[in-house]
Amino acid sequence: MAVKVSRKELHDDEIIAEIAHHYSEILRLIGEDPTREGLVKTPVRAAKALYDITLGYRQDAHAIAGKAIFEHDGSRIVIVKDIEFYSMCEHHILPFFGRVSIGYIPKGKMIGLSKLARIVDCFARRLQVQERLTAEICKLLTDVLPNDGVIVACNAEHLCMKMRGVEKQDSSTTTFDYNGRFETDAALREEFLRLIKI
């Protein structure tokens, strides 16, 4: 019987070694020889890649945002669009990737633009579903940044729909989350969508 070990009890290299052991077993179970020349280093490489891809579990999005909130007396919409991201579908552990656009109406404060990209990465680099990714970004910005409304649009392609299952190569998915004035003012929502060209 496996013993459940908290990640906090292990160092990074120990975690990678443990993941690599399981990758080696997976290779064996699908009919491969993990000791053959082309696969000898694959378990460790795959373990390091997975650990990097899931960096978001070891980051604090609130701390990222809190380092770059500044005074701002403007009240017009601020938009950062087409923030690229890569994530992993929690259902099949296959990649999905796309772009996130964020808009907010400042209320005495603004956030450093690069922090928006870092926040997207923090939530994307976990096992995710697109709907939750969109909502988590919106909620975090709503919580940490004084504002009159936040809106997040996410457009992504899912390899779980392209490589397996329905195998629809040209499909993409768009999700939105919004609050404040973006919820009550349809014209403001339309302005955001026009500006990001969705």
Supply the pLDDT for residue 1: 43
Q: Which CATH superfamily is domain 10-53 in?
A: GTP cyclohydrolase I, N-terminal domain (1.10.286.10)
Question: What is the separation, in whole angstroms, between the first and last Cα of the chain?
Answer: 51
Q: Which of 130, 136, 138, 154 is catalytic?
A: 130
Supply the pLDDT for residue 164: 83
22 has catalytic annotation = no
Per-residue model confidence as pLDDT tens for the chain (198 residues)? 444 556 567 899 999 999 999 999 999 999 999 999 999 999 999 999 999 999 999 999 999 999 899 999 999 999 999 999 999 999 999 999 999 999 999 999 999 999 999 999 999 999 999 999 999 999 999 999 999 999 999 999 999 989 888 877 888 999 999 999 999 999 999 999 999 986
Backbone phi and psi for residue 102, each to the nearest 5 degrees, phi listed first: -125, 135
92 has catalytic annotation = yes
Supply the pLDDT for residue 147: 96
Cβ-contact 39, 32 below 8 angstroms? yes
Answer yes or no: same fold for 10-53 and 61-196: no
Supply the pLDDT for residue 5: 52
pLDDT digits (tens, 9 = 90+) for 138-149: 999 999 999 999
Tell me the C-alpha distance between 166 and 138, whole Å.
30
Residue type, 102: I
Cβ-contact 160, 96 below 8 angstroms? yes
Domain ranges of the chain: 10-53, 61-196
Fold of 61-196: GTP Cyclohydrolase I, domain 2 (3.30.1130)
β-bridge partners, 93: none
62 has catalytic annotation = no
Q: Which of 25, 84, 90, 190 is catalytic?
A: 90
Q: Which of 157, 160, 183, 191 is catalytic?
A: 160
**What are the distances in angstroms from CA 198 to CA 24, 57, 65, 192, 193?**
43, 30, 26, 9, 5
Q: Which of 21, 91, 131, 190 is catalytic?
A: 91
Supply the pLDDT for residue 198: 63
Cβ-contact 180, 147 below 8 angstroms? yes
DSSP conformation letters of 75-127: -S-EEEEEEEEEEEETTT--EEEEEEEEEEEESSEEE-HHHHHHHHHHHHSSE
160 has catalytic annotation = yes
- Plot region of 99 (φ>0 → left; ψ -120 to 50 → alpha; else → beta): beta
Tell me the C-alpha distance between 96 and 176, whole Å.
16
Cβ-contact 113, 103 below 8 angstroms? no
What pTM, to 2 d.p., does this model score? 0.91
Helices (H) then strands (E): counts for the chain: 8, 7
154 has catalytic annotation = no
130 has catalytic annotation = yes
Supply the pLDDT for residue 119: 98
Q: Which of 92, 157, 183, 191 is catalytic?
A: 92
Tell me the C-alpha distance between 178 and 153, whole Å.
9
72 has catalytic annotation = no
Q: Which of 89, 122, 138, 154 is catalytic?
A: 89
Q: What angle do CA 83, 85, 91 make, to 5 degrees?
A: 145
